[in-house]
Amino acid sequence: MQELYNKLKNHTITEAIKIEESDRQFIALKKLWENNYVGADLVSAQYIYLSLILANTIICYQLSWKWEDYWDEFSDYFGLPPNLPLAGEEIVIENLIIFIKQSKNNKRFIDTKIKRLKKLEVFLEDFEWKEEYYFHNMEILRDELARTMKQKKDAKTIVFAVKMFNYWARNVFNKVNCFPESISIPVDSRLTNLFEKYKWNYTDINKFYFDLSKKLDIPELHLDAIVWVNYENLMNKKRCSWLNLNNKEYITYHDNQWGVEVHDDNILFEFLVLEWAQAWLSWETILKRKDSYRQAFDDYDLEKIINYDDKKIEELLNNEWIIRNKLKVNSVIKNAKVFIKIQEEFWSFYNYIWGYVNNKQIKNHFKDQSEIPVNTELSDKVSKDLKKRWMSFVWTTIIYAYMQAVWIVNDHEKDCFRY
């Protein structure tokens, strides 16, 4: 930890707060407050503004597009007078449900998110008049949210809600109230990577960041902002040589998705669909359409896909945000049926595909792209079996690329930080 401390010791909590308040979402919601609520009845305005934002944080996960774009969309929508909710927890929730049903950037798991909003109504009943109290007692806010949502106190969505509430309560009360030291930082892939690099003799990641926070005298939730803007330098990252470093979306995909173990059949099917779509095309062409594919194919709901009718197929073929190739579109429907049969036979597609390697990843040791094969005996074997099951677009090269993507085969180059 000492090495990481030495690299961060000149940073301050004041700097962290400036970083937080320079974010696009902070600026967008500050504008929402100043343009629509300043000058209104203060008690009602601060309740509507803060309850609306708090509720939105509860459903701000598994977005269809970038985080900043979603909060911009939220701010723009509720910045229009016809969309501004009146007082009352039910009205706030109803307005937010109307919003997410038409949102372009939050279209996944809508039914689940609506249930979460309904659950939050109980908390919002007693929220009015307590906004400033919670601003100065964030541990209590965390505990009551966790109890209402029936989640653990350190659950990411709970801690995140407290963090975002603090950000935008600053607009309402026109002051900064620092995060308490007792609320831990939500661990994500960035923090895990830093821990692995600097952990020294630590084995507990939470203890590592608690001690680092104490030593720096910066509460963990503020430390997160400093880590965020300095992450690349702290990691001194080297990546696979084939990666286009001018494409930020491609970098994010490489760092957080490609070659990450997947257990969820829904995601395993998604990767197959994207590999089928890529046939004869570049991966970057498909990557920029990744979210559009999920939206177009109903979040890869297999039961819906196998029942697509001619009208739905025509809709897909006219969708400019996906590859409008009739063979590829029809293959998704056909292959979904095969996928379900495999699930029925092996209890899950995960069991089927990982059975080929006895649930043990193949880790290669390639130095650069020139050494990486396009197919192997294993991909030949899987491809042959899937063809027998009447799955299409499963050539051995596609299957090998698929196994790389879902971590069955680790082909990150030896110098890559993800190796």
For residues 141 and 208, give the distance between their C-alpha atoms in angstroms, rounded to a whole number: 25
Nearest-5° Cα angle at 131, 38 to 102: 70
| Cβ atoms within 10 Å of 359's Cβ, excluding its own | 10
Structure tokens at 321: 């945000």
Strand 409-410 and strand 362-363: the pairing is parallel
Q: Whose CA is closest to 262, among 227, 292, 224, 300?
A: 300
For residues 114 and 97, give the distance between their C-alpha atoms in angstroms, rounded to a whole number: 6
For residues 202 and 194, give the distance between their C-alpha atoms in angstroms, rounded to a whole number: 12
Whole-angstrom CA distances from 248 to 104, 238, 243, 275 are 21, 15, 10, 20
User: Using a CB cutoff of 8 Å and minimum separation of 24, what contacts does 337-343 make?
Assistant: 337/306, 338/386, 338/389, 338/390, 338/391, 339/269, 339/272, 339/302, 339/391, 340/302, 340/306, 341/389, 342/389, 343/265
Active site residues: 253, 275, 283
For residues 7 and 2, give the distance between their C-alpha atoms in angstroms, rounded to a whole number: 9
For residues 93 and 30, give the distance between their C-alpha atoms in angstroms, rounded to a whole number: 21
